[in-house]
């Protein structure tokens, strides 16, 4: 074995760098729709994989381009943005499918959390799959999971119904139906209708434990626990802002 004797002994020897295997961080796949989860409040919650996907994709389809633009600026990511929200899903969906067929890598993001969970996403995913295109989830923050795991209510079985409809009759029918379920019931509600919901729960399941999770991952994150009546009294004495995740104890 030959030894290199020409190295200057006064200088430290170079340490050989072990290359990272290419399979550890595979490149994005052309013609793929990436569903990228984004923070629900705390910007530190975004994953390294999500950041890499946003940096390496060809275009980002966003529920609100201004909101997503602030996230991208924070992480110094510069990528073309296109809007994709409830009222332009059909038109934008066709454009996204065309981009995928041309081999582009499209990242889909919503304002917060996982695309398709009470946010735009389900429709374009179905369309992409119907057209034979590849869909890949980049998992991360989700208000549903964050609230459920910290609620103290059973997590082995749960039923997620997203946002309730606005019409009283429809809301009541859904709540009555899930009243018979054994698992924890999880739903989303706005601060403008939280009192209305607690009033409905006071009539339908007054003895169940209820948890209100609000401002998740943010500075004023708070979990409020009690019966529907107790929580209703609390909301009437305090101004509670922010979106709510509401968790209701299942049938005993």
Number of H helices, E strands in the chain: 8, 10
> Which DSSP symbol is given to 182?
S
The partner residues of 220 in beta bridges, in order of sequence, read none
79: helix, strand or coil: coil
Question: Which tokens hold the place of 74?
Answer: 């924070």
Q: ∠ CA 68-114-146 to the nearest 5 degrees?
A: 115
The answer to pTM > 0.75 is yes
**What average pLDDT score do residues 135-139 get?**
98
- Residue ranges per domain, the chain? 28-138, 143-248
Question: Which tokens hold the place of 207?
Answer: 């003895």
Residue whose structure tokens are 């209701």:
248
Domain covering 28-138: architecture = 3-Layer(aba) Sandwich (3.40)
- pLDDT surpassing 70 at residue 8: no
Four-way CATH pick for 143-248: 2.30.30.90, 3.30.460.10, 3.30.930.10, 3.30.950.10: 3.30.950.10
CA distance 216 to 14: 48
Question: Which tokens hold the place of 165?
Answer: 């409809």
- Write the pLDDT tens digit of every residue in 59-91: 999 999 999 999 999 999 999 999 999 888 888
- Write the pLDDT tens digit of every residue in 160-216: 999 999 999 999 999 999 988 999 999 999 999 999 999 999 999 999 999 999 999
Question: Which tokens hold the place of 231?
Answer: 């929580």
In which band, very low, low, confident or very high, does the pLDDT at 20 lie, cut at 50, 70 and 90? low
């Amino acid at each position: 074995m030959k030894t290199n004797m020409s190295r200057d002994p006064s200088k430290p020897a170079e340490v050989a760098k072990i290359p990272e295997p290419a399979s550890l961080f595979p490149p994005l796949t052309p013609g793929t729709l990436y569903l990228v989860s984004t923070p629900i409040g705390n910007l530190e919650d975004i994953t390294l994989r999500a950041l890499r996907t946003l940096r390496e994709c060809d275009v980002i389809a966003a529920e609100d381009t201004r909101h997503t633009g602030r996230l991208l600026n924070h992480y110094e990511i510069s990528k073309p943005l296109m809007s994709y929200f409830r009222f332009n899903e059909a038109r934008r969906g066709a454009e996204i499918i065309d981009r995928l067929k041309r081999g582009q890598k499209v990242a889909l993001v919503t304002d917060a959390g996982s695309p398709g969970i009470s946010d735009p996403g389900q429709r374009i995913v179905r369309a992409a799959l119907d057209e034979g295109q590849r869909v890949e989830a980049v998992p991360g923050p989700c208000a549903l999971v964050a609230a459920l795991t910290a609620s103290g209510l059973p997590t082995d079985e749960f039923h997620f119904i997203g946002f309730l409809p606005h019409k009283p009759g429809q809301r009541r029918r859904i709540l009555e139906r899930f009243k018979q379920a054994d698992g924890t019931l999880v739903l989303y509600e706005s601060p403008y209708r939280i009192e209305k919901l607690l009033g409905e729960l006071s009539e339908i399941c007054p003895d169940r434990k209820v948890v209100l999770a609000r401002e998740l991952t943010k500075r004023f994150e708070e979990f409020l626990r009690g019966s529907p009546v107790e929580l209703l009294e609390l909301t009437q004495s305090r101004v509670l802002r922010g979106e709510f995740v509401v968790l209701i104890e299942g049938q005993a």
